[in-house]
Amino acid sequence: MLTFTLRRLLLAIPTLLVISLVIFLLVDLAPGSPLSQIPLTVPPDVRQKMIEALGADQPVMFRYVLWLRQFFWVEPMNLFDGWFGTHIVEGEQRILSWQSRSPVFSIIGERIPQTLIVIGTAYLVGILIALPIGIYSAYRQYSLFDQIGTLFAMIGFSVPTFFSGTLFIIIFSVWLGWLPTKYDTTLQVIDWASFLEQIKQMILPVMTLGLANAASISRYMRSSMLDNMGMDYVRTARAKGLSERVVVLKHVLRNSLIPVVTVIALGIPSIFGGAIITENLFGVNGIGAALIGAIQASDIPMVQTLAFIFAVLIVLFNLIADVLYGFLDPRIRYD
């Protein structure tokens, strides 16, 4: 297992290098030198340092290596310096956002908590709703519960979040006036009242995205349960005199969870990437919103960085999904 994980980690390195090269070249080879687009509001000395840091006057491959160095050495070490008070990369030029002129990684660092709180909660809520529904729908296949579940899953699948989100805003904010339309990023949770306020403003985005996630995960859970329900070992479990609860929630569920857990792990990067629409709709100032803003403002360093972070996350969670699979299924032997 350990060797497998290490091997996969090593294999991830070339994958990431190729992805980073593609991302770098896509932006770098676009018409006009990206560095010529540095806004004029950037002071000349800073501008000069940025050009040097990214090697604008050097050949493409050299610039790529410099960019990689920036990405894998300067920025992580900056974080390290910040945590442990060391001075390893002090004075090194960092990747700056052309919009705000502050380091890209600092902006991302500020945005990530917003995304994690709202979108992460939505994903979690989606899973928590989906699993029991999927399990019970399979156990009582074709029952009224199952059919209602199927209907809701169909709706959740087919209705895009920008529509359901707008609908929820109209119903719960405009008509009923129960919940705020916009998510207030500046709200600080300091006491009970502000905590309630935070919960209230999270409900709509969490509900919108949570339902969409629950729709697909509950279907996965249901079909995986159904696949296992007819297996011979289930009959063996019943023949041992075990109760239906143990048969279903131990024997069937434990097997059914293997593919579902994998799907859930593979879906986690989409918390960061796939929530762009929801974040924009509700004004959640997260990573998705940052990406949209950066694209609109041609903020190339920001776009490059975010694109690469998404790529890293996808590769990372693919690896995690594989490792989880081996962990959950004793038949998988990697070594």
Partner 1 sequence: MADGAAPVLEVRGLKTVFRTRGGEIHAVNDVSFTLHPGELLGVVGESGSGKSVTMMSLLRLLPAPPADIRSGTAKLNGRDLLAMTDAELRATRGARVGFVFQDPMTSLNPVFTLGNQIMEPLIKHKGMTKRQAETRAVELLELVGIPDARRRLYQYPHQFSGGMRQRVMIAIALACDPDVLIADEPTTALDVTIQAQILELVKELRQKLGMAIIWITHDLGVIAGIADRVIVMYGGQVVEQAPVKELFANPQHPYTRALLQTIPRISGERSERLKVIEGQPPILTGPLTACPFRARCEYRHDACDATNPPRRAIDGQAVGEGHDVACHWYALAKVEMANA
Interacting residues toward partner 1 by CB under 8 A: 230-233, 235-243, 246, 251, 254-255, 258, 328-331
The least distance separating partner 1 from the CB of residue 328, rounded to whole angstroms, comes to 7
Q: Which is nearer to partner 1, 263 or 297 (CB)?
A: 263
Question: What's the rounded Cα separation, in Å, for the pair 161 and 165?
Answer: 5
242 in Cβ contact with 218 (< 8 Å): no
The least distance separating partner 1 from the CB of residue 8, rounded to whole angstroms, comes to 22
Q: Which is nearer to partner 1, 115 or 228 (CB)?
A: 228
DSSP 12-74: HHHHHHHHHHHHHHHHHTSSS-GGGGS-TTS-HHHHHHHHHHHTTTS-HHHHHHHHHHIIIII
Residue 214: CB atoms within 10 A of its CB come to 25
Q: DSSP 3-state assignment of 190?
A: coil
The least distance separating partner 1 from the CB of residue 132, rounded to whole angstroms, comes to 20
CA atoms within 13 A on the CB side of 327: 11
Q: Which is nearer to partner 1, 116 or 263 (CB)?
A: 263
Question: What's the rounded Cα separation, in Å, for the pair 2 and 248?
Answer: 32
Q: Measured in Å, how far apart are the chain's first and last C-alpha atoms? A: 6
The least distance separating partner 1 from the CB of residue 250, rounded to whole angstroms, comes to 8
Q: DSSP 3-state assignment of 103?
A: strand
Q: Which is nearer to partner 1, 85 or 230 (CB)?
A: 230
Q: Which is nearer to partner 1, 200 or 250 (CB)?
A: 250
Question: What's the rounded Cα separation, in Å, for the pair 302 and 314?
Answer: 18
Q: Which is nearer to partner 1, 122 or 237 (CB)?
A: 237
The least distance separating partner 1 from the CB of residue 221, rounded to whole angstroms, comes to 16
The least distance separating partner 1 from the CB of residue 251, rounded to whole angstroms, comes to 5
